Amino acid sequence: MDPAPPPMDYIAGSGGIFRDCAVHDFDVLRWIAGKEAVEVYATGSVQGDPLFTEYGDVDTAAIVVRFDSGTLGVVSAARYNGRGYDCRLEVHGFDDTVVAGWDQGVPVRNVDPGLGDSGGFPTGRPHHFFMDRFTEAFRAELSGFVNVVEGGPIQGATVADAVEVAWIAEAATESLRRGTPVGIKEVRQ
């Protein structure tokens, strides 16, 4: 979730919120699930600048991804989060629930009595920009890329992984347009 959307001339050519923003979440979901997506349901609305509508886009979205194992992934995406740049993950399972991204800079305001602004979690300055939040990750990614260019092995995601994630984004875009779930097989045709 971005603190504010990029300029509208960027939005016009971005491919939409699913291809531009949520695609990263789709990538993580697929990696965490270790399965292939089979169906996507997406919904969204425009709560801010009406130009999103003119570009066939939304600024607020919710997406459910169903995997071939029956596992469900839920993604929320928004172009407006006045508190800062938010990116976190929760995984709920039979044996445990785990979270990532809940550091002291998570851009949320805790309103539980006695925990909120009076010194409870989170206590850090909220993350404001994705480049600030993921500086070390970008450095590691660039280093890995240079290693491959120099003849080293490809580690992590492959081109095939990126293509699969693009199909999820395509299905989400089509689902938003139709207002119904869309199978990955449908968009591959």
CA angle (56, 57, 58) in 5-degree steps: 140
pLDDT averaged over every residue in the chain: 91
Cα distance between residue 142 and residue 107, in whole Å? 26
Predicted TM-score (pTM) of the model is 0.87
Q: Is residue 181 reached through a cis peptide bond, with omega within 30 degrees of 0 on the bond before it?
A: no
pLDDT given at position 77: 94
Using pLDDT thresholds of 50, 70 and 90, give the confidence band for residue 189.
confident
Cα–Cα distance, 16 to 166 (Å, whole number): 12
Question: Using CA of residue 131, residue 132, residue 134, residue 140, what is the dihedral sign?
Answer: positive
Length, in residues, of the chain: 189
The string of pLDDT tens digits covering residues 72-120 is 999 999 999 888 888 889 999 999 999 998 888 888 888 877 765 556 7
Give the long-range contacts of residues 89-95, CB within 8 A, separation 24 or more. 89/28, 89/32, 91/32
Instruction: Please give the structure tokens belonging to residue 186.
Output: 């449908």
Q: What is the pLDDT of residue 1?
A: 76
Which CATH architecture group holds 8-188? 2-Layer Sandwich (3.30)
Q: What is the model's pLDDT at position 127?
A: 85
Note the pLDDT tens digit of each residue in 2-18: 788 889 999 999 999 99
| Domain ranges across the chain | 8-188
Q: Which residue has the tokens 């993921």?
A: 134
pLDDT in tens, 130-177: 888 888 888 998 999 999 999 999 888 888 999 999 999 999 999 999
User: Do 41 and 185 meet the contact criterion of CB atoms below 8 Å apart?
Assistant: no
